[in-house]
Structure 1
Amino acid sequence: MKIGDSMQQRTRILWSIRTKLISLILFFVFIPFAVTGLLWYERSTEEIESNAIQSSDRLIKQINGQLDYYFTTLQRSTYPLLIHPLVQDFLTLDPADSYSRYELTGRIQNELLSNIAFSRPDIYSIAIVSSKNIAVSQSGGYSMIEYYENYVDKLNDENYKIVGVSKVNTLPVLTILRRFVDAKSYRSAGMLVLQLRMNEINQICANVNLGSSGFVWLMDENGRIVYHPDHDKIGQQADRSLTSKFSEATNGWFSTADHKLIIYHQSDTTRWTMVSEVPLRELTENITWVRNFNVWIGIVLLSSTTLLLVGFSFQLTRSIKRLQRLMRLAEEGDLNARAPDRNRDEIGDLNRSFNLMVSKIKNLMEEVHTSRLKENELEIRRQNSELEALYSRINPHFLYNTLEMMNSHAILIGSAIISKMSTSLADLFRYSISNPKERVTLEDEIRNTRQYLDIQKQRFPHLIVEYGFDEKGLQRVLAIRLMVQPLIENSFLHGYQTRKLKLGYIGLFGRVEDEAYVLTIVDRGKGMDPAIMEKYNEAFSGTEDNLPISKKDRIGLWNVHQRIRLTYGPPFGLAIRDSGTSGTEIEILLPLLSTGGESDA
């Protein structure tokens, strides 16, 4: 790979780091928090309103229950009158019998009605009216023909009836009717007429607290208002726009155009409908304030965290880009370029590693230029090979600490893929910057190759990798560092990418043959021209050290072969067994360690 291409690749890597950091912040911090906050805001608003409605509805039902209890108790207090002998005699009394009429009305007044009226201050008047138009009340006997004629139709077939509110001498009173039945004939013989003061009902309704301006009112089954804070509305017909909604169900709620919450509940006992009217904001303002306060706290925290993370990411990528510019100067020949190394963090360590690397390169280049021209040709070729290998390790050497830092941040933000890729890259770079003169086994080289292919599989999910060798036997096979990875890269580039093919398959197979080890690398891309393959195999099998074709074509194959041949000598090296439209098969012949630990070569 050329220096210019290397710089372009590093530029893409640096941009991808910044893009990934910003993307991680955006997609895994800001957007999830914003979406969650919005959903929480809407959900909490619904819950607040729902809780306020349910709370008000329970309150209305409780007040309705109190009214039901009040009327049930009133109804029970009149039970003794139904079967009392005096009442039964009064119902069958002949209107012409003046004496008996005078006697019975007096006794009923003194013994029954006065006591009931005295024990119930809410009773304005109580009267018994017979079907023969004879009446008696707590204040005496009088003709009640108008009562009987007006109320008998309203009672219909019912035994107990709440008629409604009327005014007696400007005082609102509630009229209740109860049918009397003759104990002998079981026929209707009269009725009890109760007129109640509204004090008890007003007190029950007035105790309801619905915000600062909310209130309740009562409506009977005919749509007339029984109770209202505005006393002028008592006895009037309720608003038809409301009663039409009340007729749809016995209880429920709805909102008006001016955001007023209307809750209604009809009693099964009285068939009255209790209605509450309250602005919705008054029910929810306290809880809404807490919700809004939490929302603003969340926005402030989110904004602060996002700014800090973005600032940190830009500071990190700025330091890497500055080091990139210094690398470009070094690659162009300015080996006096130095990075600031005052910081005591990972970036400072990276800069110090770069400075040390440039110094070593400069010293090594001076050593190469001042070395003796008459040194052994093999030693000169070995030094040149080592120098090329060192150049190829410039990037892994100073990028190692950066990848460790990327792995730490990836773990913090919970990105397993980035963590795995950065760890694999770090292992690759650690392996590549080790001592190039140190001999390695094929086991070490295959382990490094696996990490490289794992990274490629993240980039190319459709890539299939197949291994076929005895893992334990790899420890006895001698190899050189970074000999397999360039050949796989060569397959990717020339077998797939330049032919516009999707990366599909790479196979690694090994076998022992004639006290040596044969490692086979197979791809299924498009192979090279037969003439070029023949030239390569002629060069691989000979002793010439010149590349058989132009350096721009597959220089990786020749470099790997030369390094193996210079390290272990003939016959070890590369051979192309097959290359055509169905793929390419390359074999590497490597020496085996004997049982005593020495190479068989």
Structure 2
Amino acid sequence: MIRWLSQKSLFQQFTLAMIVVIFIPLVIITGFSYYRATDQISTLVSELLEKVVTDVSQQLDDVIENYDTLTLYLANSEQVRSFVEQPADAYYEKVRFTSWIESETPFHDFILQSPIVNNLNIVGNTGMFYATNRHAMDGEALSRKESILRRAPALTAQYSQNNGTKIIASQVFQVSPGGAFYISMGRVVLGKNDYTVKGVLFTDIVLDELLKSWKREDIKDGYLWIVDLSGQILYHPDTSLIGTRLEASNSQRLIAGERGHFTSTSDKGDKTVHVYSASKYSGWRVIATVPVVTFEAPITKLRNSIWTFSILIIPVILICFFTFTRSILRPLIRLKAGMREVEQERFVRIEGTALPGNEIGSLISTYNGMVTRISELIETVYKAELKHREDEIARKEAEYHALQMQINPHFLYNTLGTINNYALIAGQTSIQDMIEALAHMFRYSIKDLGEPVQLQEEIQHVHNYLCIQKHRHSRMPMIRWETADFEGYIVPRLMLQPLIENVFQHAFPTIKESDEILIRCQAQGELLLVSVEDNGRGLREAVMESTFVDQLDGANLGIGLVNVHKRIRLKYGDSYGLLLRGSEGEGTTVIAIVRLEPPKTSEIKSIIS
């Protein structure tokens, strides 16, 4: 860690120290305080909500307990147990039972007096049923035979699912749109002798009347709702949800225990706390739901206050920090800039404002003294080096001009000898062609060899040379050109003609019809390879791999090849020059390696025109 920190700049080190000393503790303290307070408030709210739902459950239990006592008495009576075993067409027994229950039992009066109970239904497994109601609007629909017989099996099935330990609760329902909600409650009726389920006794309870006792409970920004053991919503402030079922995950949470709480997250990311308590008689879960943001609001205000204070104090801290770091870093930055100048061989003193009186000022003073001394020493060494370089440049220029002047008289001598032989013979018109070609060649060769030319100019110079050779020899070898794609490229002057001349002088002692010369150009990466191949007598000592001509000790290569090789190296460097390969009887190949230099746009236009 220390090694990593030492590799950072001073500004980065100061910044990191400020973050570690100020910002990180501030964030940790604020975050810890916020989440600690949030947790405590969440616990307190959960306890308060748990008390509310427990009270509501107790109120429900008080109502359902009275109801349970009456239904237990009625369901266990001999008359009801006998009635559910009667066949569906036993009309006399139905009339006798109706008379008994309406005149000799208190349950009928209970229905008439209670605002909660709407009607009483007793249904046997045989299809025998009894129904009574007190509300004219919905009563007829609730007491219809098909409605009663349809709901009875579902109630019996729920009794089996609850293991016979809770009061039955069917699906909550609405008889008509916008009307009252009802919920069926009751218990099964056992047989007289075998104590098996023979039927069901249930009443349709008016849900709003049942819940009046606790709907006055005030929960800020929250609400109470009820779910049965199957996950069916029996009551909810949003009436569109009544009768629907919870997701399996939430239903399992509610049924898992008698009381508790859990948190859910909506699709929008809003968190909600649910606290529930179970009814002893029905098994229903009374649930209080409150958004987390409601009880987190006070602590959120505290957190915002801390952050506001932090935002106000941070600028003051930053101003002090940057003032301190600037007083240290500015002279160091000037010293660093001076050292960079030294790297670029520019020895400049640090001048300007007064230097600080601390250790950094002493360091800058020492630097200025060092720069002054180094400048004096470099000036002495530079003058000596400059004189040495001037001498070296003069030597190379002298060598270059000597090479330039060497090649022109050599070829001119040979050509003039040929013309002289023709002059001895009777007058021929071919002498005129030779002299004209010679004039072009001489004019081309006397120009500055350091001036580059296009390859097509070198090719024209070779054509002039071949014109002279055609008159000199009785036969000419076949000349093949493969240079069309590169004639606009830049090459050194007088590079190609000496290579062709070397072929005539060494490859073909006597020219035959089968003799050939191939001039070819190829691009290889950033290199241009111009090769001259012949099928002449070849080299006495075989050179199987291409070798630079200056590496062939003792080989009689002639003035022309050595001259071209040295000029190419003087222009491009030691990686360029003439390569040579061949063997006796197999011909010779000379390859000129130069830099690949495409023609400029103006040169391309001149070639096209």
Q: TM-score, normalised by structure 1?
A: 0.39
* Larger Rg over CA atoms: 2
TM-score, normalization by structure 2? 0.39
